[in-house]
Amino acid sequence: MCLPSLNRSSAWSIDLAIISAFFSAVLKSSSKSSFVGSFPVNSVIKSGIGVSKPFYDLAGKTNPEEADPISIRGKYGRINSKTGVFENVIHASDSIEKMVHKVRAVELEKGRTNQVYREAVKAIGEARTVRGVRNATKQYIKKLNQIPKDPTTDPVKVSIVGEVFVVLDPFANMDIEMELGKLGVEVERTMSLSRWVKYRLFLNYLGVDEWKEVHEAATPYLKRDVGGDGWESVGEKVVYAQEGYDGMVHLAPFTCMPEIVAQNIMPSTKEDIPVLTVLYDEQMARPGMITRLEAFVDLLKFRRKRRRR
């Protein structure tokens, strides 16, 4: 909510009861299945001269086809021609990506999954309607299912945890998920872009703790938040070990203190799951990372074989 000022010295008295009544009326007037009532809404109170423009620029024009491509509506909005409701394309690409992590490990024609994934991202990005996004998603999930797979392969399962940007950005992590897939590894990670947007930008401010289970799992070793994603990294080791994963890759930018804290706590946990920590700095090169991954995956395969005897 933006409140215009009459002058620089004017002070606005905001009646919270009126604001509460206003939003209650808006929500009551909306059907339960409507966009407005489908999830919690955050309000922002700003005052001053020209405070509205940055918000308008960030949101973009109402019609996403006319909005600046770097605005929220221009980048992620799509129009349903019947209702005019916007749909977020991030969820579509995340569902495709999750499936790619499983198929890549067992594909017979190496590189085929990556090719289909690139086509899917392009098709979803070019779709200009809700139906277009949904159709593209269904089409490429079907294509991924049709990729020939090796029925004899039993891939090792590795989770990816760590600092959120390095975990999510393929450029920053040197395509580590793809490199693991080439080695026949099925990759899993809790964090996704759609999850980050949903909680960090909305639900966390309403007191929703998306990591409650993970924080409880970490409590025997780390009892409080240390900043960044360090607390979560420790807890995820416990959770993934309980779920039977073969190993875990822990990613962090160089000098990231929360992840350094997590790195030093993980060896002392009782959960029996190997962890490879990869710190990214200006000295890190892809060949060196791949060599470490190859050694780690060989260790996991040997360890699994020995445990199954």
Structure token digits, residue 39: 């999830």
Radius of gyration from C-alpha coordinates of the chain:
23
Check: CB of residue 273 under 8 Å from CB of residue 244.
no
pLDDT, position 134: 86
Do the Cβ atoms of 167 and 180 come closer than 8 Å?
no
Q: Determine whether domain 154-308 maps to CATH 3.40.50.720.
A: no
Please report the pLDDT score of residue 91 as a whole number.
74
User: What's the pLDDT at 31?
Assistant: 47
Contacts of residue 103, Cβ cutoff 8 Å, sequence gap at least 6: 113, 144, 145, 147, 149
| pLDDT per residue as tens, the chain (309 positions) | 344 443 434 444 445 555 555 556 555 544 444 444 555 556 667 777 777 777 777 777 766 667 777 777 676 666 555 544 445 677 778 889 999 999 999 999 999 999 999 999 899 888 877 788 889 999 999 999 999 999 999 999 999 999 999 999 999 999 999 999 999 999 999 999 888 877 877 788 778 888 999 999 999 999 999 999 999 999 999 999 999 999 999 999 988 999 999 999 999 999 989 999 999 999 999 999 999 999 999 999 999 999 888
In this structure, what are the phi and psi dihedrals at residue 280, rounded to the nearest 5 degrees?
A: -100, 120
For the chain, the maximum distance between any two Cα atoms, rounded to a whole number of angstroms, is 79
- Least Cα distance to 79 among 138, 131, 147 occurs for 131
Could you tell me the sign of the dihedral formed by the alpha carbons of 39, 41, 42, 48, in that order?
A: positive
Is the torsion defined by CA of 99, 104, 110, 111 positive or negative?
Answer: positive
Query: How do 247-253 and 275-280 pair as beta strands?
Result: parallel
Q: With H, G, I as helix, E, B as strand and everything else as coil, classify residue 62.
A: coil
Q: Which of 213, 230, 125, 111 is nearest to 167 (CA)?
A: 230
Would you say the C-alpha torsion 173, 178, 181, 186 has a positive or negative sign? Answer: positive
Pair of tokens at residue 28? 């009551």
The whole-angstrom separation of Cα 268 and Cα 76 is: 43
pTM (predicted TM-score): 0.73
DSSP letter assigned to residue 13: P
Token pair of 240, please? 């993934």
User: Domains of the chain: which residue ranges?
Assistant: 2-59, 65-151, 154-308
> Which residues share a beta bridge with 247?
158
> Cβ(3)–Cβ(14) under 8 Å?
yes
Q: How distant, in Å, are the alpha carbons of 48, 138, 152, 178, 269 from that of 145?
A: 54, 11, 17, 18, 38
- Give the tokens for residue 103: 């198929």
